[in-house]
Amino acid sequence: MNSRGISTQVAARRKRAGRLVAGIAALGGAGALAFGFAPQAAAQQTYGVKIDNDMSQCAPGRGPAVRLRIAGLKSGAGNLFVRTYFAKGSDWLRSKRYIHRIDMQPRKGVTYACVPLPRAGEYAIAVQHDANGNREKDFSTDGAAMSRDPAIRTLLGLPLPPSLDDTRFTAGDGVTRLNVTMRYMN
């Protein structure tokens, strides 16, 4: 077998092992102990998960979650991405280091998203309006918003991301309400 075939087999085994660990983690501490795993292993966080915008997760008595009001959308064209991060410098705005991503259809003006959280704690949220739907960052057409609505500075006409400290917020066990406003370069 050539090296490509071996690397494909290794990748497939790693993927199956990852699914097994994720399934055991979903069982909780007792399930993990039954399979011989320590609770710490079961509590490991996965990153880069795509979820649906399920507003029922923000109903009274639910949580932890964030009911996010997104204002200032220029159009209903393209895609709207809502990414949730742990409030850690090693994760903030790093590729695939978000907890989960909600992909939704934008609506001109105001729209809402319900962002479920793994537990009460500190988080940061980034929203991107991919106005032309090409799934790339086009600074001339796309819009962005961040939790706590910090100012977006520019350098030579390019937007600079706000610091984690400017976007960090604390979510409790219930539903936290946040408002953000989309900002566009043009």
CATH class of 49-184: mainly beta
CA distance 84 to 181: 16
pLDDT of residue 5: 52
Tens-place pLDDT, residues 129-174: 999 888 888 777 899 999 999 988 888 878 889 999 999 999 999 9
Determine contact, residues 179/66, Cβ cutoff 8 Å. no
pLDDT bracket for residue 94 (50, 70, 90):
very high
pLDDT of residue 7: 52
The domain locations on the chain are 3-42, 49-184
CA distance 1 to 9: 11
What percentage of residues in the chain have a pLDDT greater than 90?
Answer: 63
In three state form, how does the secondary structure of 85-111 look?
EECCCCCCCCCCCCCEEEEECCCCEEE
Q: Which of 15-19, 110-114, 138-142, 170-174 has the lowest mean pLDDT?
A: 15-19
